Amino acid sequence: MSLNETHDPGLRSWVETAQVPGTDFPIQNLPFGVFRRAGSAEALRGGVAIGDQILDLGAAVATGAFGQASVGVAAARAVAAAAQPTLNELMGSGAEAAAALRLMLSRALRRGSAQEAALRSCLVPQSGAEHALPARIGDYTDFYASIHHAMAVGRLFRPDNPLLPNYKWVPVAYHGRSSSIGVSGQAFARPVGQILAGGSAVPTVAPSARLDYELELGAFVGRGNAAGERIAASEAESHLFGLCLLNDWSARDIQAWEYQPLGPFLAKSFATTLSPWVVTLEALEPYRLPWSRSPTDPQPLPYLDFPDLRSRGALDIQLEACVQSEAMRRTAHAPHRLSRSSFKHSYWTLAQMVAHHTVSGCNLQPGDLIGTGTQSGPAPQEAGSLLELTRSGAQPLTLPSGETRRFLEDGDSIILRAWCERAGAARIGFGEAAGRVLPARN
């Protein structure tokens, strides 16, 4: 991918709220999601966020504004796929189709567009919409790509050997549970499981007392690969459709008892929350950075390396996690920032994750979800979980309401946000991934 006219920071939309300073959704972004009007029985369909509005792609197609004669065959087919109840068909159409669609939408939504009159009636306020997951997620794999998170957790539990020897060679991951993935606004009951209390020889079954969030990004697979076929690292990003926010909620006390020797199970299967909008990799092109590996660390094996990796393999995506307790909501306290980091610190890139995932011949499918793992930065305030921020509960945090937190309490909401900005480029954002903890069920 390369910079093109859709990235021009001087572009302006006839949707005036797309020019509001700080908006996540200027015309340079154009992320995709699935929605309907809140409380309605309407069919779910694809839409594009622009300012504080959603362009209803199903309605737009019905106007005839995107006919083949006016926008071309590739874009017309892509917008018809994007108008479906899930984005799987669009994702599976490949990066070229997504790029053609994004260019068409950019031109249609610019000031002076001949399609403005037809498309104005296809706008739906975001405030009046409800969302579904962007895709039908067949499989979900969560990586462990932040060395700062891995080291911080390792120091808590293995101070003499915090980083296992395979970490710097292998993009470590586990296969997650797709059935409990929900969209922003997800509320879930505190999980119950086996917990081994300190000093006890016998576990008990109880609600988790050490419930945590994880600040992550999720990547949706676009064009898949056949079983037995590897995806080269240099080609991997062409197999990804776009990114969203991901909160991989974790019950740390359940996890501590169950995770050896095969890794997480019930500690992470009860809920995972995504933001509703998928920001395409093309939209993220202006925010690329060189990627580097310390010369004292092992360099990637050949199948995880490629020429462009060093020059443009990293993405500078700002990440933020906030909390709002039940008491804060009652007293109108705004969500309180817990941490802020950047995806540029990730030890492994998205391309390396995809290449490693398929080196064994594993076949990915359109709509599969890849998590990056908790994205913590090098500084303590950049930690992406309470486990790190409170040093496993030993150093509680104080909230603006005067409450303290070691781990999450019932009624707590976690709100994840992300955005990209740099000189000479428009600021774009991801929206929010918000979820709330409810009391455990009997």
Per-residue pLDDT tens digits for 253-304: 999 999 989 989 999 999 999 999 999 999 999 999 999 999 999 999 999 9
Share of the chain above pLDDT 90, in %: 95
Q: Are residues 37 and 185 in the same domain?
A: no
- Residue 1: pLDDT band by 50, 70, 90 thresholds? confident
Looking at residue 282, its pLDDT comes to: 98
CATH code for the domain in which residue 338 is found: 3.90.850.10
Q: Are residues 245 and 386 in the same domain?
A: yes
Q: How many CB atoms within 10 Å of residue 194? A: 13
**Between helices 95-109 and 73-82, what is the axis angle to 10°?**
90
Q: Are residues 120 and 149 in the same domain?
A: no
DSSP state of 148: H
Q: Are residues 67 and 196 in the same domain?
A: no
Q: Are residues 50 and 198 in the same domain?
A: no
CA distance 148 to 373: 11
Instruction: Please determine, for residue 77, whether its predicted confidence score (pLDDT) is greater than 80.
Output: yes
Q: State which of 132, 152, 184 marks the end of a domain.
A: 132
Q: Which domain holds residue 95?
A: 5-132
For residue range 128-179, list pLDDT tens digits in order: 999 999 999 999 999 999 999 999 999 998 888 899 999 999 999 999 999 9
Q: State which of 73, 105, 132 marks the end of a domain.
A: 132
Average pLDDT, the chain: 97
Q: Are residues 59 and 147 in the same domain?
A: no
Share of the chain above pLDDT 70, in %: 100
Instruction: Please determine, for residue 231, whether its predicted confidence score (pLDDT) is greater than 80.
Output: yes
- Residue 68: pLDDT band by 50, 70, 90 thresholds? confident
Looking at residue 260, its pLDDT comes to: 87
Q: Are residues 264 and 169 in the same domain?
A: yes
CA distance 216 to 235: 23
For residue range 299-326, list pLDDT tens digits in order: 999 999 999 999 999 999 999 999 999 9
Do the Cβ atoms of 123 and 56 come closer than 8 Å? yes
pTM above 0.85, yes or no: yes
The total number of structural domains in the chain stands at: 2
Q: Are residues 63 and 187 in the same domain?
A: no
CATH code for the domain in which residue 62 is found: 2.30.30.230
- Residue 19: pLDDT band by 50, 70, 90 thresholds? very high
Looking at residue 144, its pLDDT comes to: 97
Looking at residue 179, its pLDDT comes to: 98
Q: In what order do the strands lie in the sheet with 53-56?
A: 123-125, 53-56, 45-50, 32-37, 129-132
- Residue 71: pLDDT band by 50, 70, 90 thresholds? confident
Q: Are residues 112 and 176 in the same domain?
A: no
Question: Average pLDDT, stretch 211-234?
Answer: 98
Q: Are residues 192 and 97 in the same domain?
A: no
221 forms beta bridges with 240
Q: Give the least confident one: 38-47, 66-75, 220-229.
A: 66-75
Do the Cβ atoms of 422 and 287 come closer than 8 Å? yes
Looking at residue 203, its pLDDT comes to: 97
Q: Are residues 181 and 314 in the same domain?
A: yes
Q: State which of 99, 115, 132 marks the end of a domain.
A: 132
Q: Are residues 350 and 267 in the same domain?
A: yes
Looking at residue 436, its pLDDT comes to: 98
Residues assigned a catalytic role: 149
- Closest listed residue to residue 254, CA positions, set 213, 203, 193, 299: 193
Burial of 303 (0-12, 13-18, 19+ CB in 10 A): middle
Looking at residue 338, its pLDDT comes to: 98
Find the largest Cα–Cα distance for the chain.
73
Looking at residue 69, its pLDDT comes to: 78
Question: Average pLDDT, stretch 210-218?
Answer: 98
Structure tokens at 48: 């594009």
CA angle at 410 for the pair 408 and 411, rounded to the nearest 5° = 105
- Closest listed residue to residue 222, CA positions, set 364, 412, 74: 364
For residue range 330-388, list pLDDT tens digits in order: 999 999 999 999 999 999 999 999 999 999 999 999 999 999 999 999 999 999 999 99
For residue range 118-139, list pLDDT tens digits in order: 999 999 999 999 999 999 999 9
